Amino acid sequence: MSKPTPEVYERGRGMDAHNQVMRDIRAENDQSYDPHEPTRVWIDEDNTPDGVYQSLTIILNTGGCRWARAGGCTMCGYVAESVEGGSVSHDALMDQIRSALDHEAAEADGESGLVKIYTSGSFLDEREVGAETRQAIAETFGDRDRIVIESLPDFVDAEKVTEFTEQGLETDVAVGLETATDRVRHDCVNKYFDFADFEAACAEALAGGGGVKAYLLMKPPFLSESEALEDMNSSVRRCAAVEGCHTVSMNPCNVQRYTMVDELFFEGGYRPPWLWSVAEVLESTTDADAIVVSDPVGHGSDRGAHNCGECDDRVQRAIKDFDLRQDPSVFEQVECDCERTWELVLSEEASYNMPLSR
């Protein structure tokens, strides 16, 4: 399997060049974070193979993704929120879990049946979350129905997954695949692994009694709107065809600080995707053999997926409604004159003249 290293391609070219740029950009960040507090915690609803659950989402504050430390993905600024020094102790991580449970007790309608744990890296990478902590977290949430844990494919191992399934938890590994197209993943996202590695991770998750939730990225840098839409349609279907991958979360790129996308955005060289494009992918892949959802972060803002500003909230509500009910007819209930602008962008925008519209 591919290994995370800044020398995936010839030095000074390809991923190595991307990584050099990304390290320089990330070095601009001088903020620090408390290792005893999670990065974020919130309560929501999520669609799963067993129905809709109230969900508790926890983003643990770890030492950060090891690939991001090497340079990392062009759009990902989450490593900028990680603890300085590269590691967080077991006791501090468990303090974060307790803080998240306190938040749930104060804000939720009872215990959430679904718990989602992210690290903005790999929960299954023992440099981020050690074996002792992983086991303790599995036991802490053993009385819930379902858990989602985040990991790059390299670290997905049947034995690690079994630590959760043997607690009686339906267990899903969330894999940031971004796209099923290797060239787009390598050259636009700057992610080192191949689709074959994702397939292998699905097999490992299955062997451990779990499943996989694939995360895709709508419109990474250097793709036109129409190219991004075509890539997502293809990627959703390819993921859904992999045994063990039961859910695809197709999410539009948003502009995060300390990233290459942020630099491009500042210079007028990047526009996040249209919400119409997100809706189009969801509507056109309803026949795929998977639950397909989307969660546009920062929708309606310049830095998030947006349309004209007038219809953004209505389209976002339709997307959220679709996520829960998987009914494409919700999109028939929203319309706006800006659809014609979006259609023109799809027709006329090319990689060499994007963005055609802000």
Any idea where the domains of the chain sit in the sequence?
Answer: 14-353
How far is residue 84's CA from residue 67's CA, in Å, rounded to a whole number? 15
| Contact between residue 191 and residue 73 where contact means Cβ atoms under 8 Å apart | yes
Q: Is the pLDDT of residue 266 over 70?
A: yes
| Beta-sheet strands, E only, within the chain | 40-48, 51-59, 114-118, 146-150, 170-178, 211-218, 245-252, 291-293
263-288: average pLDDT: 96
81-91: average pLDDT: 78
| Contact between residue 74 and residue 261 where contact means Cβ atoms under 8 Å apart | yes
Mapped onto helix, strand or coil, the DSSP state of residue 29 is: coil
Q: Is the pLDDT of residue 91 over 60?
A: yes
* Residues 6+ away with beta carbon under 8 Å from 207: 158, 161
Q: Which of 128, 161, 134 is nearest to 62 (CA)?
A: 128
Architecture of domain 14-353: Alpha-Beta Barrel (3.20)
Check whether the bond before 35 is cis (ω within 30° of 0).
no
Taking only the tens place, the pLDDT of each residue in 307-322 is 999 999 999 999 999 9
What pLDDT does 2 receive?
Answer: 47
How far is residue 109's CA from residue 112's CA, in Å, rounded to a whole number? 8
Q: Which two tokens stand for residue 90?
A: 């077991």
- Phi–psi pair at 271, nearest 5 degrees: -130, 130
Mapped onto helix, strand or coil, the DSSP state of residue 182 is: helix
Residue 10 — very low, low, confident or very high, per pLDDT cuts 50/70/90? very low
Q: Is the pLDDT of residue 167 over 60?
A: yes
Q: Tell me the C-alpha to C-alpha distance, in Å, between residue 274 and each of 58, 296, 341.
A: 28, 10, 10
Q: Is the pLDDT of residue 27 over 80?
A: no
Taking only the tens place, the pLDDT of each residue in 189-220 is 999 999 999 999 999 999 999 999 999 999 99
Q: Which of 253, 280, 275 is nearest to 264 (CA)?
A: 253
Taking only the tens place, the pLDDT of each residue in 322-341 is 999 999 999 999 999 999 99
